[in-house]
A and B are shown apart, each in its own frame.
Chain A
Amino acid sequence: AQSVSQHNHHVILSEAASLELGCNYSYGGTVNLFWYVQYPGQHLQLLLKYFSGDPLVKGIKGFEAEFIKSKFSFNLRKPSVQWSDTAEYFCAVTIKAAGNKLTFGGGTRVLVKP
């Protein structure tokens, strides 16, 4: 079965700092990759997704992620964070063979200090 790991459980940084959240998955076949964000008290929202094509994906709110197939990675980046980026971020994977079920990573809680 596929699994998803997120390296950092908690990240604390200051406004304007750059953010990179690691995500690795374990599955040798074709995958669809997602990053979701959950702001305090709100429901999950899709930040960006990768299905095929350009491995550098741009999402909402200035986020981007790069799919590196050889490393089984899909790291999320933002060059300059804002206080409003304080949230929990989840990496997730689906594989067609598993009926498009999402497998989530453990999540990374990001706190941006003003």
Chain B
Amino acid sequence: GAVVSQHPSRVICKSGTSVKIECRSLDFQATTMFWYRQFPKKSLMLMATSNEGSKATYEQGVEKDKFLINHASLTLSTLTVTSAHPEDSSFYICSAHQVLAATEQYFGPGTRLTVT
């Protein structure tokens, strides 16, 4: 089956620093990856759609300069949280569409970010 990995699984950083989270599709190619944020005891909120070779599309209210997304290849998308603040602490989850079967998304295990 299609597997999506995320790295790191947990990260703690100091306020003002930047953190990069990687999302990889391990056994398939993904033209589109999605980045979500999940608050405690809440549902997933779509942050942005990452398209290979082009700029990401951000949802309303998501700061594109704060959450930098790069989709450099068909198997890798990265989310960089720049100048992190405590309110950015959250669970970040990515998902990926297969190139030839863009009807289902496969989810990564998520990254727990804590900003101190």
Contacts and interface: CB of A to CB of B under 8 A. Distances in A.
Contact of B44 (A32, A46, A99, A104): A104
Interface in A94-113: 99-107, 109
Interface string B83-116: 0000000000101010000111101111000000
Contacts of A71: none
B43 interface: yes
Interface of B, secondary structure class, is strand
Given A32-B103, A100-B97, A100-B103, A90 B110 contact: no
Contacts, number: 45
A103 B34 CA distance: 12
A101 B34 contact: yes
- Report the contact-size class of chain B (Cβ under 8 Å from the partner): 20 to 34
Contacts of A49: 104
B109 A43 contact: yes
A95 B6 CA distance: 26
Given A43-B93, A43-B108, A99-B49, A106 B43 contact: yes
A27 interface: no
A105 B45 CA distance: 10
B103 A105 contact: no
Contacts of A36: 107
